[in-house]
A and B are shown apart, each in its own frame.
Chain A
Amino acid sequence: MRNPTARMWKGVLWAFCALVALWLAAPSLVVIPLGFTDKRSFSFPPTGWSTRWYTNFFQDPSWVGALASSLQVGALVAIVATIAGTAAAAALTRSAFRGRQAVNAVLLAPMIAPVIVVAVGLYALFLRANLLGTTLGFVIAHSVLALPFVIVPVTASLNGFDRRLESAAAICGANRWTTFRQVTLPLVAPGVISGALFAFVTSFDEVVISLFIQSPYLQTLPVKMYASVTRDTDPTIAAAATLILGLTTVLTLTITLYIARRNRVR
């Protein structure tokens, strides 16, 4: 009696989930065909095709410059946030001290604090410190946002770490550096590497703070896109969006597959 009804509900659930999956994935994909349109308009779907917007992207110094700044800032943020975040995660997991919970909460605060408020405050600070439109300014601002994305995976991998392995290495005659390099690092590496990639992507995608701390001399790619979409209808932005979409998809897939494979090895 109940079986056909149960099957019907299951069918409804799967149909609904397929629609939600489409809702999640499909909208961003519209930028891909639009990047190949032949007209200077956002009309969708395009009626003719060309690669002129890609040519335009790579020949316009302001787009290429924005891409270069984004990659440079992202790489620096990955280094800074990974070092700072890994050190903090080590301090949090390796010793019990009073106020550890509080420190942990403060370290994760950048995820919760309203970005727009932080952005205006940073603008005021950087205005005075002459850091507007500087690489240093961007790296500081983005590293703060990226910290939680490093601390969370590194803490997870440190928590699953058997410290007796370090003692064993020491007993076998390894000095501290050798122990660190041959035992600790390989075991913690997955967390650190995914943290570094997350930090890069966080910086590469950041818009709101970047809008405030940019200058005409230093713009990141999302800032350039924001300026472009508010100013005119130039499909070069769709070409840029497609490039970003490709890059972040590859990075996300890499991280996910890397973590999945690591887990399977264990």
Chain B
Amino acid sequence: MVTVQAPVAGSTTADRVIDQAAPSKRGGRLGLLAPAGLLLIVGLIVPLVIMLWYAFTDPSVGLGNFRWYLGDAVQQRILLRTFTTAVNVTVVCVLLGYPYAYAMVAAGPKLRAVLTLLVLVPFWTSLMVRTFAWVILLQDHGPVRTLLATLGLGEVQLIRTNLGVVIGMSQILLPFFVMPLYAVITNIDRRLILASSGLGAGPLTSFFRIWLPLSLPGVGAGSLIVFISSLGFYVTPALLGSPGNSLISQQIFTQVNGLLQWGRAGTMGVVLVVITFAILAILALVSRRSTRRIEGVRS
């Protein structure tokens, strides 16, 4: 691996030297990036700019939409509900996904292949199919309710409630938590555990002082993806929830489709995008600071 990497690194330095000399190479690079760039501009950047434009101009130029959004108690409740739903989904994913990812690392190669496949197949299974399956399972007189009733847990309303939305979303998003966590913990050096037990630590001490801190970047990455995806989830809350407990994505849909309030939809879109990227930025800062701290300790 090392022998391969050294000449590659050398060739990139050589590239950089050539790069300054030959403008044709730079042109070639732009040419290679052009198709993807064009797609991104048309399919992502322009739509987002349009939403931003609507937020400030429709129906009239100014901050009217933002004033409405901040002053509307219903919208604040919906934003809060969106946040609590995302937190609940993330917590469920952490609680179910952490032991699972740990087992994937601890298992032998055959069992690991099975466990990996059990994460990958749902990951690639259509969101629509998985949501529809939950509609069947959670429906009134459906199998889950019957099961709960026979277990003596009483009649629990599941579909058209926030509980149902959290159940469906956490099952759908679990692979998004497990995969980044697995990628991190599979690279943890097991000799550290051996070393700690050699120094007299019990299994619990080893776990909490060595394994857990080293796995935290994976937990962070996984929960970040789950949390951000939950904030903007549309299909699952639309089919498992109800208008009475809608999330911000359903509100955006209603503002455009039912009410033709483009400015308000744009405002909510801006709020959602800003929150998403603010969370990303904060976490990037935190993780950079903690790596610096670790490096500081090492040096």
Name the interface residues of A64-120: CB closer than 8 Å to any CB of B.
80-81, 83-85, 87-88, 90-91, 94-97, 103, 106-107, 109-110, 112-120
**Stretch from A51-59, A176-184, A185-193, A249-257 that touches the partner:** A249-257
Known: A21-B115, A116-B253, A248-B126. A14 touches B47 (CB 8 A): no
Q: Say yes or no: is A63 at the interface (Cβ < 8 Å to chain B).
A: no
1/0 contact string of B248-279 vs chain A (CB within 8 Å):
01001100100000100110010011001100
Q: Which residues of A contact B70 (CB under 8 A)?
A: none
For the complex, give the distance between the alpha carbons of A177 and B197 in Å: 57
Chain B residue with Cβ nearest A140: B43
Q: Say yes or no: is A156 at the interface (Cβ < 8 Å to chain B).
A: no
The answer on a CB contact under 8 Å between A164 and B7 is yes
For the complex, give the distance between the alpha carbons of A179 and B132 in Å: 49
Q: Say yes or no: is B156 at the interface (Cβ < 8 Å to chain A).
A: no
Name the interface residues of B123-165: CB closer than 8 Å to any CB of A.
123-130, 132-137, 139, 141-143
The answer on a CB contact under 8 Å between B33 and A87 is yes
Q: Say yes or no: is B171 at the interface (Cβ < 8 Å to chain A).
A: yes
Q: Which residues of B contact A171 (CB under 8 A)?
A: none
In the assembled complex, how far is the CB of residue A41 from the closest CB belonging to chain B, in whole angstroms?
10
Q: Which residues of B contact A230 (CB under 8 A)?
A: 239
Q: Say yes or no: is B205 at the interface (Cβ < 8 Å to chain A).
A: no
The answer on a CB contact under 8 Å between B126 and A118 is no
Which of B42, B116, B124, B141 is close to A248, meaning CB atoms less than 8 Å apart? B124
Q: Say yes or no: is A50 at the interface (Cβ < 8 Å to chain B).
A: no
Q: Which residues of A contact B201 (CB under 8 A)?
A: none
For the complex, give the distance between the alpha carbons of A207 and B253 in Å: 13
Q: Interface residues of B: mostly helix, strand, loop or mixed? A: helix
Q: Say yes or no: is B228 at the interface (Cβ < 8 Å to chain A).
A: yes
Chain A residue with Cβ nearest B270: A117
> Which of A44, A160, A230 has the largest number of chain B CB atoms within 10 A?
A44
Which of B48, B125, B132, B174 is close to A113, meaning CB atoms less than 8 Å apart? B48
Q: Say yes or no: is A169 at the interface (Cβ < 8 Å to chain B).
A: no
Chain B residue with Cβ nearest A122: B47
The answer on a CB contact under 8 Å between B43 and A122 is yes
Q: Say yes or no: is A170 at the interface (Cβ < 8 Å to chain B).
A: no
The answer on a CB contact under 8 Å between B50 and A125 is yes
Q: Which residues of B contact A83 (CB under 8 A)?
A: 35
Q: Say yes or no: is A162 at the interface (Cβ < 8 Å to chain B).
A: yes
Q: Which residues of A contact B269 (CB under 8 A)?
A: 114, 116-117, 120-121
The answer on a CB contact under 8 Å between B249 and A114 is yes
Q: Say yes or no: is A244 at the interface (Cβ < 8 Å to chain B).
A: yes
Q: List 9 A-B contacts (CB under 8 A).
A: A27-B137, A30-B143, A88-B37, A107-B40, A112-B276, A114-B273, A143-B43, A225-B128, A260-B113
Residues on B close to A: CB < 8 A?
4, 7-8, 11-13, 15-16, 19, 25-26, 29, 31-37, 39-40, 42-44, 46-51, 54, 96-97, 99-100, 102-103, 106, 113, 115-130, 132-137, 139, 141-143, 171, 174-175, 202-203, 228, 231-232, 234-235, 239, 249, 252-253, 256, 262, 265-266, 269, 272-273, 276-277, 280
